[in-house]
Structure 1
Amino acid sequence: MPSTHFDSHAQNDIVSLDACALSRAVQARDVSCVEVMQAYLAQVGRLNPQVNAIVAMQDRDALLALAQERDAQLSRGDNLGPLHGFPQAPKDILPVADMVTTKGSPIFAGEVSQADAIVFERMRRAGAIFIGRTNSPEFGLGGHTYNPVYGTTRNAFDPSRSAGGSSGGAAVAVALHMLPFADGTDMMGSLRTPAAFNNVFGFRSSPGCVPYGPGDDVFFQQFSVAGPVARTVEDLGLLLSVQAGFDARAPLSRRSDAPSAFSSALERDMRGTRIGWLADLDGHLPMEPGVLETCVSALRHFETAGCSVEAARVDFDIERLWHAWLDLRSFTFAGVNAPLYRDETRCALLKPEAVWEIERGLRLSGEQVYDAVRERSAWYRAINALFARFDFLVMPAAQVFPFDAEMHWPSSIGQRKMDTYHRWMEAVVPATMASLPALCAPAGFGPNGLPTGLQIIGAAQTDLAVLQMGLAYDRASGYSRTRSTLLG
């Protein structure tokens, strides 16, 4: 493919490139790392004040000096990798060496990390330059990005609306071309919800695909995963090829994967592929008017790509699944954060939702936790049985459109009252509880002009296949090419 050339290297030309094209341009030295850094810093300066996606910005002169160093490395033939000179802003949840990691909590405001999380270590080694952090809700709790340290992150298509969460800063920064792509994490839809709300792609990778940690627990924790956010599936694959692969510090990470496949093997003829449409799980999931209809309309693009689409049903009590999820989530969160709760001064700084999770977790007996593990295993068997009939399962990625950014969270959907702070995002739980890879892909815009997304869910450890299906769907639909009017 011919390299990209710039007339006077206009800043808008640079930030408008997708990440794959930008990487080729940097490698070919058609654009310098300094020019890339200048362009992205200008874009951040222009748009970030409206949306508050990137926080804890680093010193401009220091960043330009690092970019200059990247150019010097290329001049010597020292190419660090596909992210050489790429501005990145790691999500403010996992640690980054010599940067503040607040987790959105005043408890950790100003706390500087001593080492990189594995995923950031890999991105840095591939040439990325960290310009700041992307904003997240406190401890990543809840699907709406606001916290008392940095404030609220606003939607890329309507700044009066929520960006989703917890990778809300990442999704908005990508949608508004303030980053070429970004990292995120996903426990309860934290990559998928903001992707749906901002018309970009968010990929929940299979546990073990991307090493998570290092941390105090390297065996039990299998809910939170790291993964990419991007404007195209090819860009997702490029970042995932850097993030993925075995690391001995994470014993459940996978040796068998060839991470380069994520950036080199996405082309696949999907004709004859069978899609199972899970819809709202037989009416179990309440939906804001217009969400389900928008998603149903998007299904035709799978048929355009040569797939067949049929209604699918999981033979399982979804309410049982939800309660098992509540127990396992609270148990995990309490295990990590109970010391904060037991410290009177720190406890006073925790948001109510964090206190609720910890208190629930501390009340659970060992037998209750094991019962929840059994339910999770039964759920996996039930949903896995569908892959005898279908190659992929599809369902909405969100139950609501982006809501008022001043709200804490939706207290009801239609006539149904939400009984927890996160019940409104229950649609993301099925994939998490089954440890299945799930791609949130744009599904178009509702009657209110706001975006939503679809989850493309694959069988266990079929991460590459899910991205291949996502690419075929995106080429047929074209939804991802709709840009925010904030871009001008």
Structure 2
Amino acid sequence: MTLDHYSTAREMLTALRSRDISARELLALHTDRIAQVNPTVNALVSLDLDRAHATAAAADAQTAAGDPVGPLHGLPFAFKDTHDVAGFPTVAGSPLLVDNVPQTSELIAERVTAAGAVTVGKTNVPEFAAGSHTFNPVFGTTTNPYDPTRSAGGSSGGAAAALGAGLIPLADGSDMGGSLRNPASFCNVVGLRPTPGRVPCWPNSAPWDALVTQGPMARNVDDLELLLSVISGPDARIRSSLSADALAPRHGVAGLQGLRVAVSADLNGLFPVDAPVREIHDRQSSIFAAAGAVVAEDAPSIPDAEWVFRTLRAWRFKIDLGDRADATPELLKPSLLDNIRQADRLSADDIAKAMVAQAEIQARAVEFFSRHDVLVMPVSQVLPFDAELEYPAAVDGRRCDDYLDWMTSALTVTVLGCPAISVPAGFSAEGLPVGVQIVAAPGNDLFLLDVARAYEQLGPVGAVRPHLLETAAASIPS
């Protein structure tokens, strides 16, 4: 067996535990790849390889001593650059935070570090994670491993590009309007938005808010589930966090036989979809049916979901960034500042109506998933677009007035309160990745992973690697 930078995380861990490879050798495999490829994709930032080598050496010493080790022991890792990791800068793509080096880690980083991961640095994000295209004035633009002239998505774009380019085997991210799903779709990897509360976020300025959640990304569903097992679980500071017992059982899913699948390209006309994306979506009915699923064209009725999302999102931005907008508005990108200022125009009545509507939408979701096991729909409405743009000018001929207009297929699902996963589904004629979004009932995270795993096994889409970067390949025998 030969390990390379595209081996699965589980294969790497097996080799580490059997001592076929050391943590230092595995790190060297990845740092060589980072040196060769990261200048092209610009996925990883704030690298501290001296510290990573010291951590890997300590991991090897722990293994040699026969001490108990965690589930990610010796595995290279990079955290989203909005997540605090003690001793590493958290810049969030903002000139306001270029000197920010937190001394404590937030909960997700604590859990991954305690599991034994070797931190190499951070993954690039849009400024304050606003928008689903990763560029900022501090570190620049993250590009797509399958075509470096195209966007890698966002806001977890650095994470998705790093996975797609073989720089790291696992990554964390966060998702408000699609930030774990859109970049996964763009970079041919897997990204899960868990049921809110599955992965508790702390510190958290609005712990009651269910729009924002953290979650895992990987190159396949098995590896994603491994990371989910590390970062999930209750925390007393987040009263809405879910225990393992709160998750619905797996239902014994083995393949897709008999699965009740609803498919919808646009949720009853809620949003436009570009033709190449719609073409790949339209194949899904026959793919699921051929695997034994019972397929029906159906969608939940949620015409007010986008208004709810935009209203509550503006409120959340005001909570998190309002003070910065008031103190240094000139140091925020205009679209981000506009998001914050939208909250200034909201009344208490607006917020109350949005919260009531959100509750009604989530009740409709429960009813919908009493009739269907999963909903299959597009992740993103467009292909990876020109990396020089902030957002596409139009979708299927309909003008985009802001950077949310091409993300409606993801942000509407956020309002449902359901777990949703992006899984590789196909490629456009020009070789650009397209993912499929699979959504399940609230709490059915493990069931959703089993469905996604069964779908993943129907074809080799997720195993197709970016040809433009193959000359940078490296491997080491184990």
Matched with 1:373 is 355
Could you tell me which of 220, 227, 245 is aligned with 1:239? 227
Q: Partners of 2:246 and 2:268 in 1: how far apart? A: 38
Cα distance, 1:288 vs structure 2: 1.4
Matches within 5 A, 1:59-78: 60-78=49-67
Cα distance, 1:269 vs structure 2: 4.0
Cα distance, 1:421 vs structure 2: 2.1
Q: RCO higher in 1 or 2 (8 Å CA, sep ≥ 6)?
A: 2
Cα distance, 1:68 vs structure 2: 1.2
After TM superposition, the score normalised by the length of structure 2 is 0.95
Aligned amino acid, residue 97 of structure 2? F
State the secondary structure of the residue aligned to 1:444.
strand
1:252 aligns with 2:240: yes
Matched with 1:487 is 470
Matched with 1:15 is 5
Deviations 1:438-482 (Å, cap 9, x if unpaired)? 000111011232111111000011000000000000001321111
Cα distance, 1:25 vs structure 2: 1.1
Deviations 1:160-206 (Å, cap 9, x if unpaired)? 00000000000011111100111111111001000000111000011
State the secondary structure of the residue aligned to 1:164.
coil
Cα distance, 1:300 vs structure 2: 3.0
Q: Partners of 1:114 and 1:305 in 2: how far apart? A: 51
Q: Partners of 2:246 and 2:275 in 1: how far apart? A: 42
Matches within 5 A, 1:111-150: 111-150=100-139
Cα distance change, pair 266–46 in 1 and its aligned pair in 2 (3 A) = farther
Cα distance change, pair 299–28 in 1 and its aligned pair in 2 (3 A) = farther
1:154 aligns with 2:136: no
1:327 aligns with 2:317: no
1:221 aligns with 2:205: no
Q: RMSD in angstroms over aligned alpha carbons? A: 1.7
Aligned amino acid, residue 99 of structure 2? G
Could you tell me which of 311, 332, 340 is aligned with 2:324? 340
State the secondary structure of the residue aligned to 1:89.
strand
Aligned amino acid, residue 301 of structure 2? D
Deviations 1:220-256 (Å, cap 9, x if unpaired)? 2221111111111000001111111111122211124
1:180 aligns with 2:180: no
Q: Partners of 1:267 and 1:115 in 2: how far apart? A: 41
Matched with 2:474 is none
Matched with 1:420 is 402
Calculate percent identity across the aligned residue pairs. 38
Q: Is the 8 Å Cα contact of residues 200 and 232 (structure 2) preserved in structure 1? A: yes
1:201 aligns with 2:190: yes
Q: Which runs of 5+ in 1 are unaligned?
A: 7-12
State the secondary structure of the residue aligned to 1:160.
strand
> For this pair of structures, how many residues does the alignment match?
469
Matches within 5 A, 1:348-367: 348-367=330-349
Matches within 5 A, 1:225-304: 225-257=213-245, 268-304=254-290
1:33 aligns with 2:33: no
Q: Is the 8 Å Cα contact of residues 305 and 472 (structure 1) preserved in structure 2? A: no
Q: Partners of 1:377 and 1:472 in 2: how far apart? A: 32
Matched with 1:401 is 383
After TM superposition, the score normalised by the length of structure 1 is 0.93
State the secondary structure of the residue aligned to 2:32.
helix
Cα distance, 1:216 vs structure 2: 2.9
1:305 aligns with 2:294: no
State the secondary structure of the residue aligned to 1:185.
strand
Which is further off, 178-187 or 265-274? 265-274
